[in-house]
Amino acid sequence: MDEPVEEIDVAIVGGGPTGLAAGLYAARASRRTVLWERGVLGGQIAITALVDNYPGFADGVQGPDLAIDMHRQAEKFGMETVYGGVEGLRRDPPHYVLTTADGEVRAKTVIVTSGADPVKLGVPGEEALTGREVECAVLGNAEPQASPLGEIRAPDGFYSYAAKYENDSAELVVPAAISEAAAERVQRCAIDAFRALDCAGLARVDFFVDEEAGGEPAIHVLELNTLPGFTPISMYPRLWQEAGLSYPELITRLLERALGRSRGTRARTGAAHA
């Protein structure tokens, strides 16, 4: 929102499926409706791979896609979204007063749809093994650049050997549907990892990103691949395509950087070449 909200008709606390459904109906009934979400829009459904029991989707639907569409539909009817948490709520008849990071907001009606947090098992390493897998392509030598992020979605929720190597059933989603703040942090981490390992030219860095708990997203580097798949449909060129770099342009840039590096090495070592 551009300006701080002072008085609204309907305040919704939480942007999971329940809050988004409430927002859709309230906004469609011409009530000024504002929804607060402190984590990721879509709540638990945004961290679900395949949802196959949602009426109307006979072949199932990916949770993040459903979340994006629910949000788009509610905003189409005028619902406003604030990316932040509601810290407090009190009654001040005839209003309710919400405490937010931007100050206090008065609302005629409040709908609390704060949902639930899935219970973790508490086993060692669990924190580093949950989250959405996103991938970032890095290009360059001394001043590497990070691409937009992508996400692999497997048809049955599990990225199996068959989905990776034997058929085309896995979907590459570019850009990945994570928050802008998380995406920026992942891109910075990708460059840090690239530099820490003294990489050159290209690498694809894979991460788990967990925005489920709200607050700062948990980001874990899974792997840095120094020779990523490079067919025209592979993730690495797909990510650069999203940044406006075509497959031929990407190859040209890589060759330029390889030649530049080779010249630099020769200059440092004084090596001659035939």
Q: What is the contact surface with ligand FAD in residues (CB under 6 A)?
A: 13-19, 36-39, 43-45, 47-48, 51, 53, 85-86, 113-116, 118, 214
Of 130 and 145, nearer to ligand FAD (C-beta) is: 130
Of 14 and 155, nearer to ligand FAD (C-beta) is: 14
List all residues 6 or more positions away from 143 whose beta carbon is below 8 Å from its beta carbon. Answer: none
* 230-265 burial: b if 16+ Cβ within 10 Å, else e: eeeeebbbbbbbeeebebeebeebbeebeeeeeeee
Backbone angles phi, psi at 171, to 5 degrees: -105, 135
Could you tell me the smallest distance in angstroms from the CB atom of residue 82 to ligand FAD?
Answer: 9
Of 139 and 154, nearer to ligand FAD (C-beta) is: 154
Could you tell me the smallest distance in angstroms from the CB atom of residue 74 to ligand FAD?
Answer: 12
Could you tell me the smallest distance in angstroms from the CB atom of residue 273 to ligand FAD?
Answer: 56
Of 36 and 207, nearer to ligand FAD (C-beta) is: 36
Of 14 and 201, nearer to ligand FAD (C-beta) is: 14
Could you tell me the smallest distance in angstroms from the CB atom of residue 60 to ligand FAD?
Answer: 8
Could you tell me the smallest distance in angstroms from the CB atom of residue 35 to ligand FAD?
Answer: 9
Of 55 and 270, nearer to ligand FAD (C-beta) is: 55
User: Do 99 and 87 touch, CB atoms closer than 8 A?
Assistant: yes
Could you tell me the smallest distance in angstroms from the CB atom of residue 47 to ligand FAD?
Answer: 6
